[in-house]
Amino acid sequence: VENEDEIENLRQLHDLVYSQACSWFQNLRDRFRSQILQHFGSMPGREENLQAIPNGPAWCWWLLAVLPVDPRYQLSVLSMKSLKERLTKIQHILTYFSRDQS
C-alpha cells in the first residue's frame, strides 16, 4: 500500500470485514460453531499493523477455511494477491450469508 490514505482505507475495510466475520460466526447455530471450533480452533484476533503482515491477517485465512463456499470460489479468493481485493470478496460472501441468516 502506497500512501497514508490508502493505508487508512485498508484499515477501515479490514476492521469492517473483521466485525462482519465475528458477527457471522456468532450467529451460526451452536452445533456448527462447535464443529468449527473443534476442527479449526478459535478465530484469530484482529491485526493491528497490516503493513507488517506480508500474507495478510491470519483471521482471513481462517475464515476462508471455514466459510461454506464452493472450493473453486475459495481458491479464487486465496489466489488474490491484493489484501483489499480479498477483503472485498470476503465482505461480499459475508453480506450474502448475513442476508440468509436474517
Q: Is the pTM of this model over 0.85?
A: yes
Give 38-76 as a 3 state SS string: HHHCCCCCCCCCHHHCCCCCHHHHHHHHHCCCCHHHHHH
pLDDT in the model for residue 51 = 82
pLDDT in tens, 38-53: 999 999 999 888 888 8
pLDDT in tens, 45-86: 998 888 888 888 999 999 999 999 999 999 999 999 999 999
